[in-house]
Every structure is written in structure tokens, then in C-alpha cells.
Amino acid sequence: MQRRHLLQAGSGAGFLAALPATLALAHAQSRKETVRVLAEGTPNSRDPHGEGVSRESLGTFTNIYDRLIHFDRIKLPSGVYRYDYARFKGELAERFEQSADGKTLTFHLRRNATFHDGSPVTANDVKWSLDRAVSLPASKRQLATGSLTDPAQFTVVDAHTLRITLPRADRYTLPNLALTFASVLNAELAKKHATAADPWAAEWVRNNAAGGGAYRIESWTPGQQVVYARFDDWKSGALPYVRRAVFQTVPTAATRSAALQRGDADVALQLPPKDIDALAELHTLQVVSVPVTNSFRFIAFNTRAKPFDDVRVRQAVAYALPYTSLFRGASFGHGQPLFGAPSAKPASSAFPQAYPYDTQLQKARELLAAAGYPQGFKTSFSYNVGDATIGEPAALLVQEALSKIGIAVTIEKVPGAQWGTLQTDKKLPFYIDTSSAWFNDPDYFFRIFFQGDWRWNFGAFENPELARLVEQARWETDKAKYDALIRQAIQIVFRELPIVPLWLPSYDIALQPDLANFTYYIHGQVDFRPLTRT
């Protein structure tokens, strides 16, 4: 089947008829001020401080909650925008100051801001939310990367002023406060649902919004769609152009593409590279690729469980992987390869960078034999169903390649709603995924992905020498010394291989031609607030 025909499949009148009634009604009522987003995955939580949230939930948090500050943005040559984690603008805070020593931050709140239920936003709500964020596991771990660890750091000066004190100046504090992990909740509403066993009302907030952001949730159909309505009393920015937004889960990429071509959708996320290429050839839609330097596609091992607790097994798999076939077959060459480096010594202190592994089957067999598996072994290889456009073809290629060295692979398809929890609990022995670091600094990458008892340490890796190097680099201000520390850290992960990076992806998105001001965030979801139509 030719590309054009594939994209047109399923694009008949039956598609709109098959959409939920809410979406069809929105289409009829206000085409201009309604935005429809189709995605492969689905939001699974309304709690910005919660565990096991899907990537799509980060888009929910962005739109229904405010933070004290948010990231400024940069316009790219393609006409879309990219967030800038080094520059900030006030959101709930109309202004903020930092002391000369960098250890005290003072935020002055907008006096007319309200939550969705009409109650005023006060410094008490902000403090309770930050107290909650540094107390619940997922948000606690992230905010700690910016020295935000203790409720005692957050002080209510008056109803509209909050002070944050730090043990030392930290260049990651402001960026962390702009993340969804620092979202501000309606404290009084949430506290009504707290119990002795659940003092932060985590169970209730997971299934109920408690925000004051630019959008409120009008309806939520688990696994299918979320409908957002503009909060017309929002005061933390210019009132958005988009009045209504519909986020619908459509697992089949061909259906998402067809809907976009017909005008039944405005944004299609997570399209396979081949479909992105075909849509670009039509010249009737905006098809944009944003270069990404702090996201990466990878294969991970559980280094705490057999057989992957043996570094020789991990290295054997790395030498057996079909890198070129994976990059071309699953990614269609979109992105930048992270394999085949000519030397085990890092080329620079940049990270991620290419690893010194390529396909060498005899070397892989020798390593397996040395590890005590001369005949190979059986294992499972997992991918997230919400990531099937890349995960499924990649899994088949891995299965075929490892069979050549005696490793029998069973492919496990994991529902997206369970993926984050299984990663957090380290119950996936061997899998493919993609992730992103919020911030671009190499020491931050290492702190997030190669240490700690949390979800993002995908390889469940522990290495005291690496931890020492990274902690020293975090506070190092001399560039030459910083680079030397990072090079040493890179050599450790080259050798120990808790994960095998495959490529730096490009962020590919297809939009209707009249949709303007799309902003790329590292989570890859849609911020409805800046969107307009031309």
C-alpha cells in the first residue's frame, strides 16, 4: 500500500460520526475557538504531585493548574515556539525577587487570582501545595534537584507574599518551580478530602481537579477523552483564545492522520515518522520537527535482577542490538544516532552523546559465555502500548536480533496506565522507552537517570563513584573542572550500561495550517493557553 493511500484509510465520513458526541458537538458549535488534539496515549491522573502519572497527564497539569512562575519561550525558524528553561515569567506571582546571596526568593501573588470554585488564591494555598509537593514521593524527588526539600523552607509573609529560603544558592531552584511538580492546588478544597491515612488527599486529587489554571475539566472519560473549558476568570496571564479543548485518545496512527487531513482534528501527536514524512509531502498541513537535545530513546535493564545484574550480559545485549535497523525501521532516520562512537573515551562533556557500541554478534556471544550463559537465556522485553508506534516495531527487531545469540525474547505489551507504576516499582526486567530531562545540563542528566530510588533511574543503577562525581559537578562553577568531572561520569555509564541510548529523537508534530503559537515543552504535550488561529 502506498503512503498516500495508507494515510487516507479510515478518513471517510464515518470517522467524525464515530467520535464521542461531545467532540462532534464541539465541532458543530465553535470550530474556530475549539481545538481538538488526538494522541496515542491517555492521561491517568489529575494529581501533579502523584506517582505513576502518564506523559499525557503532564499536559493536563499544565492547563488546569498554575505555578508561581513559568518558562519563557523562544520562537524557532519553523514558526513554533520552544520553552526556555533559563528564563522565567510570573504566573501566579506577578513579580518575584532573589536576594544577593541567592538563598532567599520572595514571590508576590496576584491579588485577584481565584481557583475554579471562585475561592481566592492565597499564600497559604501556595505553601500547602509546596509542602505537599516536597512530601509526596514523585514530586519530592524532582523538587529536591533544586534544593526544595523541606516544608520549613516555605514561609507565608502575608496573604499574597511567600518566601522560600535555600541552604545555598542553587541554579536549579527556579526551573523546578516552573515545572508541573510545583503546581498550586486549592488547599481548602483538597483538605476536605484528606484522612489520617491519606493526609495529602492523594487518592481524591488523583481523580478530581483542585486547580485554578486557565482551563477546568469539563468532562473526563478514562482511556478515551478529556474535555477542557476555558476558565474565564483566569488572571495569571492573557485570557486564552481557545475556549474549549478536546483531548482524545486514538490509538491507531492512521486514524489520527486521516482525521487531521479531513479537518476533524487540529493536532495529531505521536505520529510515526513515516506518517510525518507523508503528511509533509501533502503541503496542506503544518508539519514541524523540533530538534531535541535532552530527550532520548533507550533500552533499559533492571540491573538489580538476574541476568541483567551482570554487566557482561548488558554489554552482550548492547553488542547484539540492530542499531541501524532500529533507527531506520522504527524512527525512519528522524533524530540523531547515539551509537557507534569510535572510542570508549567520551568525545566531549555533552550528554547524551554516542556510546561506543555497534552490532558485533561474535563479541556478544563471547560476553554471554563469560557471564555463564553460553546457550543464552529467556527474558521478556516490554513496551508501553501508548508508545506502540515506535515500541512495537523496535520490540520485534530486538526479538529477532537477540535470537541470533541465543536470547529468547517474549514481547510484553504494557497498558499505558500501568507503565509508570511498573517502572517505579522496578518490575520491568528489560524494555524500551523514551524520556526527557527537564534541564539540559549534563550533571542534571546523571542525577535524574543514573541514581536514586525513583522511576527515572530506569536501570535501577547504583554506583558510588558516579554519585560522587555528579554531586561535585553540580556545584562546580569552573567550566574546565566541570567538564573533567562529567567526562569521568560518562566513562562509567559507557562501561556499566544501565541503559543503552539509541537516538536523540526529533519532536514531530502535525497541525492544521491556521493554528498558531504552538509551544513545545519537554513533555511533548499541548499547552492550550498560547494557541491562536490565523
Secondary structure of 465-503 in HEC code, one letter for each residue: HHHHHHHHHHHCCCHHHHHHHHHHHHHHHHHHCCEEEEE
Q: Report the pLDDT value the prediction gives residue 180, as an integer from 0 to 100.
A: 97
In 269-351, which ranges are E strands? 286-291, 295-301, 336-337
DSSP state at residue 302: -
Written as nine digits, the cell of 529 is 493557553
Round to the nearest angstrom and report the end-to-end CA distance of the chain. 35
| Largest Cα span, the chain | 70
CATH C-level class of 3-64+201-273+508-533 = alpha beta
Helices 388-403, 323-331: axis angle to 10 degrees equals 150
Q: What is the CA radius of gyration of the chain?
A: 23
For 86-188, the fitting CATH number among 3.40.50.10210, 3.90.76.10, 3.30.565.10, 1.10.1200.10 is 3.90.76.10
Task: Measure Cα distances from 165 to 99, 103, 141 in Å.
Answer: 10, 6, 18
What distance in Å separates the CA atoms of residue 141 and residue 88, rounded to the nearest whole number? 22
Element (DSSP H or E) covering residue 320:
helix 311-320
- Give the three cell numbers for residue 511: 497541525
Which pLDDT score, from 0 to 100, does residue 500 have? Answer: 98
- Evaluate the omega torsion of the peptide bond into residue 151 and state whether it is cis, within 30 degrees of 0: no
Q: Residue 446 is placed in which grid cell? A: 546523571
Domain boundary assignment for the chain: 3-64+201-273+508-533, 86-188, 295-504
**Alpha carbon distance 298, 503 (integer Å):** 7
3-class SS of residue 107: strand
**Cell for 315?**
554489554
Burial 389-413 (b: 16+ CB within 10 A, else e): bbbbbbbebbeebbeebbbebeeee
The answer to whether the beta carbons of residues 449 and 457 sit under 8 Å apart is: yes
Q: At what angle do helices 311-320 and 388-403 cross, to 10 degrees?
A: 100
Per-residue model confidence as pLDDT tens for the chain (534 residues): 333 333 333 333 333 434 444 444 444 445 789 999 999 999 999 999 999 899 899 999 999 999 999 999 999 998 899 999 889 999 999 999 999 999 999 999 999 999 999 999 999 999 999 999 999 999 998 999 999 999 999 999 999 999 999 999 999 999 999 999 999 999 999 999 999 999 999 999 999 999 999 999 999 999 999 999 999 999 999 999 999 999 999 999 999 999 999 999 999 998 988 899 999 999 999 999 888 878 899 999 999 999 999 999 999 999 999 999 999 988 888 889 999 999 999 999 999 999 999 999 999 999 999 999 999 999 999 999 988 989 999 999 999 999 999 999 999 999 988 999 999 999 999 999 999 888 889 999 999 999 988 899 999 999 999 999 999 999 999 999 999 999 999 999 999 999 999 999 889 999 999 999 999 988 889 999 999 998
Burial label for 439, CB within 10 Å (0-12, 13-18, 19+), is: buried
pLDDT at residue 515, as a whole number: 96
- Which residues have C-beta within 8 Å of that of residue 118, sequence separation ≥ 6? 233
How many whole angstroms separate alpha carbon 352 and alpha carbon 336? 11
Question: C-alpha cell of 189?
Answer: 478544597
Predicted TM-score of the model (pTM)? 0.81
Looking only at the bridges linking them, the beta strands covering 154-158 and 161-165 are: antiparallel
pLDDT at residue number 30: 59
Count of helices and strands (H, E) across the chain: 19, 22
52: left (phi over 0), alpha (psi -120 to 50) or beta: left
CA neighbours closer than 13 Å in the CB half-sphere of residue 130: 30
pLDDT given at position 17: 39
Which residues make Cβ contacts (< 8 Å) with residue 23, sequence separation at least 6?
A: 36, 225, 227, 246, 248
Residue whose grid cell is 512562575:
69
Give the length of the chain. Answer: 534
At the topology level of CATH, where does 295-504 sit? Dipeptide-binding Protein; domain 3 (3.10.105)
Residue 505: per-residue pLDDT: 87
Whether the Cβ atoms of residue 529 and residue 246 lie closer than 8 Å to each other: no
Q: Which of 73, 61, 85, 62 is nearest to 439 (CA)?
A: 85
Q: d(Cα 232, Cα 496) in Å, to the nearest integer?
A: 53
